[in-house]
Amino acid sequence: MRTASMALVGLLFLAVMAIVQRPLMVSDRLDVDTLARCRRLEKLSNREMRRLEREFEERRRPLPPPPGGAPGMPGKDGGGAGGRAPRTGDRAGKVSGWILSNLGNLGLLGLFLLFEVVRQNLQHGASFDAGSSDEDDGEEEDDDDGRGGEVEAAAATEPRLPEGLGSWLGDLPSSEALAGFLEQRLEASSRVRPGTCEFVESFVDDLLDACRGLAGREALLQLEDCLGLGAAYERWGPLRGPPRLRVLVPLLPPPGRALVPEPRVRPGAGRVAVGPECQCERREVPGDVLCLLHRPGAGPGPSPLEATLCSGRHLDRLKTVRWFSRLVAEAWARVAHKYDFGLSVLAPTTCCRLRLGYRSGRRLDVSVVLGVQWDESLVYLASREDGPAEGPEPPSGLDWPESCAACEQIFLKLVGRCAPPESCHLRCLQVLDWLRDPPGGSRPGPPVLTPYHLKTALMHQLLLLPLSAWKPELLSQRVRDVLSCLARGLRERRLPHFWTGNDRLPLTVPVPEALRGARPLNLFGHLERDPRLLARAVLEFRDLVGRVKAAGLRPPARDA
């Protein structure tokens, strides 16, 4: 029995450690708290196992025979004081015997309780905000059915959304019809392959190595390896036209200088200050040699960086992009022999634009965005914004838009890891983005509703609904939810930016606290200021919903 009990204890210990050592299965919303609870539970389990081991060691030791009693049978025939002495030990032996006889049941009970705790944590963390998902979902439905889908008129000629938006969106095609529509488009589309994304990153890194060799130690700015960002790296687009990819190149200062981000100078943008930096703290200086900052009687003068790429004490993003584009054009001559395509460096705007041309006529456009990291987060002050922000393009070259593209990529990866297999959240984006601007469509100007608006509405729904609601068979309902979110935004002229002022953000996505607590940006703020843009946005939304309703009713057209 003792051997069987030891085996059962060992099995219980392995089961406990197998559960405790897997804290990464929980959702990112409660990951930090759950990890702390698992560590406390592990400590309690280890303490209990040590107590059981000491008890088993004591049981192995032979008990001394009591006076007048047979060995191993204390208190059986000992009368008087000699037979009554081990009464306390007799009780302890009975308790220990009961524990040993019921050790299997106790172990199974402890294992069941531990499994229930971990399972509840898993279910609670799967929705990113389980406390309010059901209530908010119900409030959304009541809001749609109660107030309807009417958009208030901003001008006398402004079109209106049909009455009863909730019932109007209820006639969407089934999930099977939408999935079939998307599959037929994907077969004929020119979407970017995952291998292409990896090749672009390695190619840009090769160019950056050549740039470092050209600039040498006296480089104006140091260039880190690139990060692939955007729809192509998030595996949902683009689905047609020449492939377009975007990479981010983080910037670092040269020795002796510091880049100090000054975020939130204006909503959605900041500035990058340039100043001297003490090198004494970065490395050991031999002897009594002092750095330029601490040299007595002389202060550091303007560096080549400040004289070339700065306006005043701030880094000029337009000058920086032009400098980088010229450097890339020179670096291409060093690495061109490795590749069988031509490279054209197009006129820079807010990023360095590269075009790879192959002999077959195929081309690949790459936008290289420069950015300065905000503290230790994944938010950058970038040379180009990653989506529509409140207000027009920053008025001067000193303003660097805040880019949360890296945070969005991490967030969608977390959703894909925690969501059910073959989750439909990316398919929602693909369906709506395809139908938003169908091939052969014509519009008077650039679209008002952009893919970033669709993506923002989707990310809000990912926090609002439990991840179990994104199963593939629920594609139609989730498309309806995203469209309902856009309809409410148009009616209220308000679509909050996902990363500013959102207290429900996952804790594992590194976002600065200043951004979490900031006033939310309104991505539809320009519609409130311009009634003509609002009228165009309402028309685009009405056309989008009409195309979604017709997607499952007509045979697919042949798309080029």
- Residue 311, SS3? strand
Q: Indicate the residue type of 23.
A: P
The conformation of residue 431, written as its DSSP 8-state character, comes to: H
Q: What is the pLDDT of residues 146-178, one digit of tens each?
A: 333 333 333 334 445 445 444 556 678 899 999
Which residues, including other chains, have CB under 8 Å from residue 92's CB and lie 6 or more apart? none
Q: What percent of the chain has pLDDT over 90?
A: 37
Q: What is the pLDDT of residues 270-322, one digit of tens each?
A: 999 998 887 665 455 455 555 555 554 444 567 889 999 999 999 999 999 99
Position 486 confidence tier, pLDDT thresholds 50, 70, 90: very high
CB 343 within 8 Å of CB 356? yes
Q: What is the pLDDT of residues 424-476, one digit of tens each?
A: 999 999 999 989 877 665 666 788 999 999 999 999 999 999 999 999 999 99
Residue 130 pLDDT more than 50? no
How many other C-beta atoms can be found within 10 angstroms of the C-beta atom of residue 155?
10
Choice among 40-44, 71-75, 544-548 with the minimum mean pLDDT: 71-75
17-34 average pLDDT score: 49
Higher pLDDT among residues 286 and 398, named by residue: 398
Q: Distance between alpha carbon 451 and the CA centroid of its chain, in Å?
A: 18
In terms of Cβ atoms closer than 10 Å to its own Cβ (0-12, 13-18, 19+), residue 445 is: exposed
Position 186 confidence tier, pLDDT thresholds 50, 70, 90: confident
Q: What is the pLDDT of residues 232-250, one digit of tens each?
A: 899 887 766 677 899 999 9
Report the C-alpha gap between 23 and 117 in whole angstroms. Answer: 12
pLDDT at 441: 59
Q: Indicate the residue type of 435.
A: L
pLDDT at 117: 59
pLDDT at 98: 64
- Across the chain, what does the average pLDDT equal? 76
pLDDT at 6: 63
pLDDT at 152: 38
Residue 119 pLDDT more than 70? no
199-207 average pLDDT score: 96
Residue 516 pLDDT more than 80? yes
Choice among 56-70, 165-179, 528-542 with the minimum mean pLDDT: 56-70
pLDDT at 154: 35
Residue 127 pLDDT more than 60? no
What sign for the dihedral angle of Cα 498, 504, 510, 511?
positive
pLDDT at 50: 73
Report the C-alpha gap between 48 and 54 in whole angstroms. Answer: 10
Residue 10 pLDDT more than 70? no
Higher pLDDT among residues 261 and 84, named by residue: 261
Q: 225, 475, 204, 479: which is closest to 364 by C-alpha?
A: 204
Q: Distance between alpha carbon 259 and the CA centroid of its chain, in Å?
A: 26
Report the C-alpha gap between 492 and 151 in whole angstroms. Answer: 8
CB 275 within 8 Å of CB 260? yes
Pairing status of strand 244-252 against strand 363-373: parallel
Report the C-alpha gap between 483 and 64 in whole angstroms. Answer: 81
CB 496 within 8 Å of CB 523? yes
Position 12 confidence tier, pLDDT thresholds 50, 70, 90: low
